[in-house]
Structure 1
Amino acid sequence: MSALFNFEALVFIILLAICTSAYIHQIFPRILDSNKNGALGIVWKFARIGERLSPYVSIGCVIMAIRFLL
């Protein structure tokens, strides 16, 4: 079953994309800030979500980690 049909896996993939994009933006801010359109634009948007909603994203990551441990 792919992640598109499994809601829990889809949420996990989105959380990983948000966390990874925020980390990449922290390391290479100019690359993402200069490319706000196209494929890197999606990464830039995920990075903005990760930066602005970081407490909620981290709580979501902890909940998903506990869920996968059980």
Structure 2
Amino acid sequence: MSALFNFQSLLYVILLLICTCTYIRGVAPRLIDRNKEGFQGLFFKLARIGERLSPYVALSCIAMAVTFIIQ
């Protein structure tokens, strides 16, 4: 089943994208620039969410890991 049709899988994909974009922006900020459009602009927005809401993203990652282990 595709991640688009399974809500929990869609949340996993979005959360992993947020974490990945935030990490890449921290390591190599030139790869994710705020002046880009399209998908690269979306990656900047995801990185910004990860930077500003980092406690909530961290709690979401922990919750995702626990639910993944339980299943």
Matching residue of 2:51: 51
RMSD: 1.1
In 1, are the aligned partners of 2:18 and 2:47 still within 8 Å (CA)? yes
Q: Which runs of 5+ in 2 are unaligned?
A: none
Q: Which runs of 5+ in 1 are unaligned?
A: none
Matching residue of 2:29: 29
Paired positions, count? 70
**1:8-35 C-alpha deviation (Å, 9 max, x unpaired):** 1000000000000000000111232254
The one-letter code sitting in structure 2 at the alignment partner of 1:62 is I
TM-score (norm 2): 0.91
TM-score (norm 1): 0.92
What fraction of aligned residue pairs are identical, expressed as a percent?
56
Give the Cα separation in 1 of the matches to 2:35 and 2:65: 32
